[in-house]
Structure 1
């Protein structure tokens, strides 16, 4: 046969099943032939899309696993040398593992977190598994038939195994070992690439998480008063604007308050003492809002209906979404009583501030159509409280002779 004829014959069996790939064991040869028929379907499916590829390739994997087990069982039944069977089994196991990893790489996640089908990798995988099986048949499976012949001729399984190695042409043996090593190198390289890709993805996800956490932290800082942890003036205005825009006719009351004689604390004991007063005051009021029954009346879906804010210095604002003026005054009076119970001590247990606060309360009504006018009204009542001697609550109810209509919540 000419070299051109040999080349043509090689190309034919590489393209598909042919007699050159038969090892002389009918049951094994038939399963090999079935595989080549299936792999052609993989090539066709790979060009169609991921769903088609995955469906057909899963059938191929199932067939390979089924064939490997049948082949291993057949070798045992024919008393093939145990060491050879174990080596053969290891080769099968590595193949299944590698094909699974290569299949997983066919569907990749891009930078937008979309899953993208890698058509070229799918086709490459089909070529790999087809050529791997050809190499395995020529390099390993033919040894099964040879060992069976030696055993049937009266040799022990171990001797039969030794004889196939003795009779193997050294050049072919070197070629087989070399190609086997090349395949292992390729498999290791592929695994490392997948590991690197997984590490990069993990690193990117970690950085993205850190970035989002930093964004949230920066956002929190931008709306939070650093000293007290309360909402700051910016957030207070944002909340009020949202309430007025979200509801066409919102019921909303505002409490404005400051700490009486706070300047004296700073002037007498220093700003450190002033900070201590502000923090203890804020903590006591936050606890009051968390535990008072009326303060939790309109809390819904884990959304706060009361927003406690520090405007600056010793000035504070309480936004009471959904609360009427009666309810707001009831809360203000209860809050006033809580503040009167505060005593701030220095490191020497000396009282540096005895709780005292002036409070103004206003609510949306016909005269207050926007939140700025409600704020202005609450501020006016705050100054009215100061004019009346400080440490008291003032609102429209007090002007008309009203008191606290919701005493049961105090």
Structure 2
């Protein structure tokens, strides 16, 4: 659950960072375009005011100029009269001088002087340009008095309809232009300053957003941890305790109603699962005596047994659970017979349903013992009969008669006699009992029956020794392949004993020909070959 908390915190931090970056980018863009729009409106207002003032100024100047010129001329005539009469000096003013004086006055009251006397911020420029030539007539006094632009007149006329960005004196400016008589009046605002202001506002806004998002993130994480993760941790720990074997699991009151419903359902589920043993016991009581049942659930890793199952198996609860789990994982056959250490014989019938394995245990000890007694009695009654009473294979006497009869009937007899001895078989009898040993002998006898032809004579010589006679000509290569397959199939058929006790077979074989056309000699040679294989490490074959 700690890892889950870390993952949730990581996700929240990621969302916080991404949201901060996105909101910061959106905020900067919004502020930047807002600044441009605001500056554009301010520029239009400034140019409109400038146009109005210049139009009023032109009208006022025209009236004032008429009065001033007339008064100015009267005064100069009077001064000239006084000077000529009183000072007897010739101070007549020529027409060119009068024109220069008038022009100097007009320059003092025209558009150029007005614009040049307007104070502005260093990042803003008010300017007037000749509408015909594009010559710069005037620039506000706080700014550089030049306007270096490519195609100045053309570019400024383009900005009369649509304000936009232009390069002036090597820098980008937002330019707004309006035509006023013979002039193009304009306002230019430095883009760098707009960007700096946008960054400052965006930075302030971003810090505010980060603080708000951080507070929201911490509140969300705390709420999730307190009202969800706490309950999930409690539920997970309870389930883990139940899976580990603790039957006294309790789920305390949760914060949310949904979690309370989940806890209640889990309690009902645990009670249902925990009552599995009682249900199995009730089922067994209905089936009758000498039957026990178990249930293994691999997903929960839990095993439930009926009441007397442990007594029947002669093991503890932990050992019984381990046996059931091993049977599930190994995928054992649906039905098998178990010879227990206690001496009991139990037939196990298994039914697998998805992740659950059901096992039905039948105590057949009495039946098995009766069968064994009947088999022994039958063997004594038959005496020297042809069949081995335990395995159903032919016995030693029959094999000897069959080989001798075959040799006598053929002038050039061909065939193979195979001797087989089971390695480490005594360990099974000593540790698991003779009943389990008999079961292993029966399994191996069935393997021999399925591994050789119907015409081949398969015999149990006694104890854990077997022999097979193959009449007819057989190549050495074919014989070796058959015996290797027999050894391999034995490992698979008796895999459990092979792993626990090292059970295997040593095989010796000898070919029948004219030189050894005698049963006793043939058997001695095959037996010697078998012991050679055993001395070479067991679980192998030797062809003599």
How high is the TM-score relative to the length of structure 2? 0.28
**Larger RCO of the pair (alpha carbons < 8 Å, separation 6+):** 1
Larger proportion of helix: 1
Structure having the higher Rg: 2
Larger proportion of strand: 2
